[in-house]
Chain A
């Protein structure tokens, strides 16, 4: 809309600017007129296009080729996608179910937890809020991946491992558990670690959003018959901080993808090449596997396209949930 209005405004001005400039095409003079704006966005836009837009487009294009990083890419049509969806047993039997299990618990689960904790912290007196904010946010500062040394020692498989030792001494388990080598346990540990570090930027955004709600609104609500805290959350708080919640949701989608790397790092740190019997194998690990071990780059690109499509879908879904229609 804005650009249309601008254009008509320029058309009106056109007769005034006689001289060499008016003979150039209209878009050139328009670019020149706004050169300051373009200069301001140029450094960012150039880096952004090179390192984000082009790689995403390149992944889409590569996904239709067969490419081994040495010989020339060969056009392959939909074959990569067909192979992924029909023949790739590890993808279909491990990566997809694992990714969904992991993503649903860590994504929406971690997100709901972030909201709940932000809300809970907001109920406390102002003076002590900062301490709790720091305690809840600090794990995401550290990041599950960077703290791998903690997990390796904590979840060590012998009875010297801290968790084993604790559970043995309380008599909860009889024999030490191989936390990081048992396929039945591995995924759960990935989820716990990721949830631990999931209260990140989105959590801060929602906490900050809560502080913008004014008390009068809550008082008005209680006069209108809102009687408990749950009603208050549903009818007043969530609508009031919808935009921050949307930001938090999108950050949760991206954060979940990044957190997924924890599986392969835990496996490597215990000397395993892959997660035990693919129990923690997510789509992102599958991409790495094909790209950097098998050098089937076209295939890996097709996998990344599928992953991007899932992420985009999840974000669109969040927008459906929390988007505000039009201006408020």
Chain B
């Protein structure tokens, strides 16, 4: 009798363990699947890093090798020298990009936060109409209306100035939207208390609202950076003066007709890497804040 019971018990325990280990199987397969996928997703990025550091003879090598065997800075040196031979040095494109992106990010963050604060905490006539317009504009990509934008920019007289790299990008509906969702989380009591203490609107904005919504500020800054740093639209359409064009434009000239020149590949890879890396570094620094902001990104 007792032996039978013990057997039953053991069986029950076995079943229990099986049941308990079931989710683990799922987790393990999820982990393996995701790891494989992650490696696959990262392959092109690993590839571009390697390609950028390959010496010429490895670029030509047959059969082609994925990894660089003798990494060199040759391509990067070529990138700088190559541009020096032309009328516009590489450093000029680089400066243009750094400057316009810097101003764009600062301006986009500031005006998005200001508008978002008013939309979130003030009640004024027209606010729902304006905000509705912003929501609708989330659904439109400005890329689809390049022509009217082009006409407008030439009418405004900011063609061939740094403004044409900055101003069109500063209007960032996603920025206002994300900021507002975040500012909505700030309790009204906090703002009321500041008002009672005699703080003016501007002071409330930069002493209370901005510090509290730093994660959203970081997120919008990153989005603005990504948008501005790697876009070629403004250089292609709104700027004809070579010395005012930006780095991504220069990279695009390197990659045009690329298939014909193997030497160009290494240089183009080096240039593309220089565009990609800042994006990656900035995201790495603020990953937590971005996810925190995105939790409030829902549209109701």
Task: Give chain A's interface residues, CB within 8 Å of chain B.
Answer: 2-3, 6-7, 27, 30-31, 34, 36-38, 40-41, 43-45, 47-48, 50-56, 58-59, 62, 117, 120-121, 123-124, 130-139, 141-143, 146-150, 152-154, 156-157, 159-162, 165, 169, 180, 196, 201, 204-205, 207-209, 211-212, 229, 241-247, 250-251, 253-254, 257-258, 261, 268-271, 284, 287-288, 291, 297, 300-301, 304, 307-308, 311-312, 315, 319, 323-324, 327-328
Contact = CB atoms under 8 A, between A and B. Distances in A.
Contacts of A209: 294-295, 297-298
Interface stretch (B4-12, B31-39, B78-86, B88-96): B31-39
B1 interface: no
B141 A43 contact: no
A3 B255 contact: no
B71 interface: no
Given A44-B171, A135-B38, A141-B280, A148 B123 contact: no
B189 interface: no
B119 interface: yes
Contacts of B140: 52, 56, 254, 308, 311-312
A120 B148 contact: no
A27 B152 CA distance: 31
A291 B237 CA distance: 12
A124 B30 contact: yes
B64 A165 contact: yes
B279 interface: yes
A323 B39 CA distance: 35
B269 A253 contact: no
A242 to B, nearest CB: 7
Nearest to A245: B298
Interface of B: 26-27, 30-31, 33-34, 37-39, 41-42, 44-45, 47-48, 51, 62-64, 66, 110-112, 114-115, 117-119, 122-128, 130, 133-134, 136-149, 151-152, 156, 167-168, 170-171, 173-174, 176, 201, 205, 223, 226, 230, 248, 251, 255-260, 265, 268-269, 272, 275-276, 279-280, 283-284, 287, 290-295, 297-300
A162 B38 contact: no
A150 B47 CA distance: 7
Nearest to B283: A141
For the complex of A and B, the 8 pairs showing the least CB-CB separation, nearest first, are A243-B298, A135-B38, A58-B148, A208-B294, A40-B118, A44-B115, A34-B124, A315-B139
A7 B123 CA distance: 11
A271 B148 contact: no
A134 B47 contact: no
Contact of B148 (A54, A253, A312): A54
Given A34-B124, A209-B298, A149 B269 contact: yes
A312 B139 contact: yes
Contacts, number: 303
B284 A134 contact: yes
Q: Is the interface of B mostly helix, strand, loop or mixed?
A: helix
A48 B156 CA distance: 15
B119 A3 contact: no
Nearest to B251: A146
Contacts of A291: 146-147
A41 B114 contact: yes
Given A34-B125, A324-B300, A271 B259 contact: yes
Contacts of A300: 147
A268 B256 contact: yes
A53 B133 contact: yes
Given A59-B147, A150-B44, A304-B147, 15 more contacts: A3-B125, A34-B124, A40-B205, A50-B167, A52-B173, A132-B38, A138-B283, A142-B48, A146-B230, A147-B276, A160-B64, A244-B298, A250-B139, A254-B139, A308-B145
Contact of A48 (B152, B171, B257, B293): B171
A40 B200 CA distance: 13
A55 B287 CA distance: 34
B300 to A, nearest CB: 5
Contacts of A7: 125
A105 to B, nearest CB: 18
18 contacts: A6-B124, A44-B111, A44-B114, A47-B171, A58-B151, A123-B27, A133-B287, A139-B42, A149-B255, A153-B265, A160-B63, A207-B294, A208-B293, A244-B295, A247-B298, A254-B138, A257-B141, A311-B141
Contacts of A247: 297-299
B128 A2 contact: yes
A139 B122 contact: no
B122 A40 contact: yes
A58 B174 CA distance: 22
Contacts of B27: 123-124
Given A43-B115, A138-B41, A147-B272, A51 B149 contact: yes
